[in-house]
Amino acid sequence: MGQRIDIKHLNIYYGSFLAVEDVNLEIQANKVTAFIGPSGCGKSTVLRTLDRMHELTPGAHCTGEVLLEGQNLYGKDVDPVAVRRDVGMVFQRPNPFPTMSIRQNVLAGVTLNNRRIAKSDADDLVEWALRGANLWNEVKDRLDVPGIGLSGGQQQRLCIARAVAVHPQVLLMDEPCSALDPISTLAVEDLINELKQDYTIVIVTHNMQQAARIADYTAFFNLQAVGKPGHLEYFADTTTMFNNPQNVEAERYVSGHFG
């Protein structure tokens, strides 16, 4: 089952520059939460703090708390690698490992975590993950061909299978459909709706229709002014966000009047 995330007074820095200021947000377990807002407002930056991936950028750091079921992911004794096992990431562009087969791509996370696994267990895991990503029937007869040879939509679903193979609690998706055609986008959106039965999902998207279709909750991030930090402007269930937002800037954004 997915786990709840509580973000408390989160400030995100790149060096001395404050990029995102004082985010307070409750992300519900087994729901889809969408991050929307204009470019440069900090959506993806906040997303990357949820698995400590922003720390891979030199000079990046944050203050405040990110709690996964009450455990602070930034506690002094917490291993970032362990965090990334519990909180998986799917990126904007499909990124299967080019030298690996479909099977090897699915098992990559297990291998990188130095987990020993019997061949029969590995076979079961590959099938389970690919079924979970709604890809098994399309690739079951060619598991040994390179993953890079799949179509764009299939590659993205392969990346989702790779993410779920390590059994995370949370799946983060940074504009996962922006490079896909409408049919592939629909397949991934249908998959997201299925995956939330087992995972907590947070997605960054610039597609307002997509957010309205698949998100249970929506967080609108905004810029205070040019050169100023991004911040969480408004948070609501998705029906309220798109039909009756209680925030002027959010109403202007989702209705297409700015951004």
Residue 201 and residue 160 in contact, taking contact as beta carbons nearer than 8 Å: no
Contacts of 167 (CB under 8 A, 6+ apart): none
Q: Which stretches in the chain have pLDDT values below 50?
A: none
| Distance separating alpha carbons of residues 154 and 53, to the nearest angstrom | 25
Measured CA to CA in angstroms, residue 227 lies from 40, 41, 82, 257 at distances of: 10, 10, 34, 22
The two most distant CA atoms of the chain are separated, in Å, by 57
Residue 78 and residue 86 in contact, taking contact as beta carbons nearer than 8 Å: no
The H-assigned helical ranges of the chain are: 43-49, 80-86, 102-112, 119-132, 136-139, 152-164, 182-195, 208-214, 238-243, 248-254
What letter would DSSP give residue 245?
Answer: -
Q: Is the pTM of this model over 0.85?
A: yes
Look at residue 114 in the predicted model and tell me its pLDDT. Answer: 61
Give which of 82, 57, 60 is closest to 71, Cα–Cα: 82
Residue 18 and residue 11 in contact, taking contact as beta carbons nearer than 8 Å: yes
Domains of the chain in sequence order: 5-254 (3.40.50.300)
Q: Give the model confidence (pLDDT) of 91-131 as tens digits.
A: 988 999 999 999 999 999 888 766 778 889 999 999 999 99
Look at residue 181 in the predicted model and tell me its pLDDT. Answer: 87
- Other C-beta atoms within 10 Å of 116: how many? 7
Look at residue 171 in the predicted model and tell me its pLDDT. Answer: 96
